[in-house]
Amino acid sequence: MAGSTEPTYVRIAAELTRRIDATEIAPGDKVPSTRQLAQEFGVALATATKALDVLRADGLVITRPRSGTVVAPRDDASRTPTTKALTRQHILVEAVGIADAEGLDAVSMRAVAGRCGVAPMSLYRFVEGKDELVAAMADAVYAASPFTLDPDAPWRERAESLGRELWRLHRNHPWLGRTQPLTRPMMLPNLLRFGDRLLGALEGLGLPPKTQFDMHVLLYNHVAALAANIEREDEAMSQTGVSADEWTDRQYVPHFSDDAFRTRFPHVARLFGPTALLADGYDMDLDELFELGYGLLLDGIEAYARRHRERPADRVD
């Protein structure tokens, strides 16, 4: 590509287009990731991202949840830029699709515009920039859940229902937790709706106001923090091609039969190794961890509330 006066990202896009037209990358096949393109062409990640955005705008590639960016089917309508009138809802749908498939870092005004088949500046009629876009994306996802409850149901039943629905949303959109740090939460009306209902479930326990709010924060954080591992694992798998199980086996299994390791970490060795209690290894199941952790938190809240009622002299309201 030396000697050309075209921008580097345009030249990369042209080369990828040639490969697609020659079916070197067939419809449905994954296209090289931004990291792979950066390595192949010796460019920055931002340049590689721009090249993929060109292909999206031309309808040559599409992004599918959990699959990444793939070559569009030959008869797919996305091969030509959309002529539909641009709307805020369309922008949010495409932006959420990118975040679900490639992570929140892949969301940019340029990338979303490419998915919509418009120039990046067109988006600014609907959102002021990426920060507003991300906030709107998150609120749109939370809006999809009614968080409906039976107001007469026991507090724990209501808290469990809310927690499981929140887990489902974060499980399907693991980038959500990154949009809402505990110390600087955004004003998202539909997430506030969840928080308000959870506070209502806790209200009948008679907890001090600050403790009630603390516990609602802890319950939310259990969901968001656990689900964040899904996005991190997707990123690690994309970058390394090594699954979590394979990585763990390489890191730890060779040490379990080492006498020095077993002497230094006797309680770990008691669980793992050829003759240990978990001889077949440990399969991490995030859904099971959510249920276990959320249940333990509710047990703790229940026990705390009971102690609080039994020791009225110790109350600090």
Please write the tens of the pLDDT for every residue from 23-71: 889 888 889 988 889 889 998 877 888 888 888 777 788 876 556 788 8
CB atoms within 10 A of CB 259: 8
CA distance 123 to 132: 11
Structural domain boundaries enclosing 98: 8-127
Q: What angle, 0 to 180 degrees and rounded to 10, lies between the N-to-C axes of helices 286-310 and 155-172?
A: 150
Per-residue pLDDT, 65: 58
Evaluate whether residue 135 is within a structural domain: no
Per-residue pLDDT, 2: 47
> Of 82, 98, 127, at which residue does a domain stop?
127
- What pLDDT digit, counting tens, does each position of 114-161 carry? 889 888 888 999 998 899 999 999 999 999 988 888 888 999 999 999
**Contact by Cβ (8 Å): 142, 169:** yes
- What pLDDT digit, counting tens, does each position of 115-126 carry? 898 888 889 999
Evaluate whether residue 221 is within a structural domain: yes
The pTM score is: 0.71
Arithmetic mean of pLDDT, 84-92 = 88
**What is the domain-level CATH number for residue 274?**
1.10.357.10
Total structural domains within the chain: 2
